Amino acid sequence: MPANNGSKHQTIVRPLQYRDIDAIASLCQQATIPDPAVKAQIDRLFQQMTRWYAPFQFLNIIPTPNLTDRALLVAECDKQVRGVISVSPFNRTRSTWYVEWVSIDRQASTPEQVTGKNDIGSQLLRYCFEHIVEASTWVLEVDVNDSSNLALYRQNGFQPLAHLTYWEIAPELLQELAQREPDLPNLLPVRNTDAQLIYQLDTVSMPPLLRQVFDRQIHDFKNNLVQSVVGKVKQWFQQSQSISNYVFETQRKAAIGYYRLSLDRDRQTHQAELTVHPAYTWLYPELMAQLARSCQYLPCQSLQLVSADYQPEREEYFQQIGAVRVKHSLLMSRSVWHKLREAKHLSLENLQLAEMLQSLQPARQPLPNRIDKNEPEDLI
């Protein structure tokens, strides 16, 4: 259902329509998206929607998880698009959702629509909080220098979780790292049968608060047949490649290191996701040498990785080898408690409150004690 704020300039929040694509593409270019992988994914999404909008809508009808789960909502005022928000499920259970980006047309909007009590950004966020009822937690990432969006998120209840730093390793440094032979005798490719090991590694590699917010389960590290086929087709069309390996520790029978490398000829940088067990930080030089050797057969591009403030060993190693800090961002979260909505079929009889209260009744009728009026008051 569309939402509005009831003001003179009525703002309606609704799903994306084909006529909105040009306006939203312009807002996307103005938006500050910290995660480069999300930025590239959004850009490609708009290119696909421009060419294949009808098939895109059809795919939204097919119940294929994590295929077209992204929700794009626009804020319309005076029949003009004034803002847009993109959200997507963060895990398979869909208990946590991710705010990918929020963008507002500040030039065409009134001051009240930008910084007022019912500003457009807050209306977009509240619409998602109220209508995506399966989400109990929301997470997002915001650039530390993006003061406008940072204020918007704090105003709507988001609290800091971790400080993230993006590092870039120059092509020359990658060639130097590739000269070293990595000591990884038990480096194995990741398969669905290894999901339990990767899940355990992911669990132990982050603080308890992040584990609770992310709410990942074993099936979050598995790919079904549809996802595998779609991923292969996307890689073929986009001339990209994805490599996932993990380091197996034979004595503990556990995964102690994992990386996922995304190699793309179209981007200026390759992307790598790195997870290392806190007790095995000596793996960083070995895994970095392996990543560098995987990049040396492709066009000369830099490699981008991320570290968090709870990973001091990783940040120290990146600084030691000469990696460059390119940007800083803040990971934030917000919890949502949805009220129980009244429904016609709900009643006191259906809730069986009478049966619940009956067990609390006394076993027999209490009898009042007789009080003798002649007794002293101190004995009463």
> Which pLDDT score, from 0 to 100, does residue 140 have?
96
For the stretch 46-93, pLDDT in tens is 555 555 555 555 444 443 333 347 788 998 888 888 888 989 999 999
Q: How many other C-beta atoms can be found within 10 angstroms of the C-beta atom of residue 35?
A: 19
Q: Percentage of the chain with pLDDT > 70?
A: 66
For the stretch 111-154, pLDDT in tens is 566 666 678 899 999 999 999 999 999 999 999 998 888 999 99
Amino acid type, 302 = S
Token pair, residue 65, equals 């998880």
Give the range among 35-44, 84-93, 278-287, 355-364 with minimum mean pLDDT.
355-364
For the stretch 186-208, pLDDT in tens is 999 999 999 999 999 999 999 99
For the stretch 273-325, pLDDT in tens is 999 999 999 999 999 999 999 887 776 789 999 999 999 999 999 999 999 99
For 332, the 3-state DSSP assignment is: strand
> Which pLDDT score, from 0 to 100, does residue 263 have?
78
Please name the residues in contact with 107: beta carbons below 8 A apart, sequence gap of 6 or more: none
CA torsion 284-285-286-290 (nearest 10°) is 100
Give the residue with greater pLDDT, 244 vs 238. 244
The strand ranges marked E within 250-323 are 254-264, 269-276, 302-308
> Which pLDDT score, from 0 to 100, does residue 242 have?
84
Token pair, residue 120, equals 């457009």
Please name the residues in contact with 312: beta carbons below 8 A apart, sequence gap of 6 or more: none
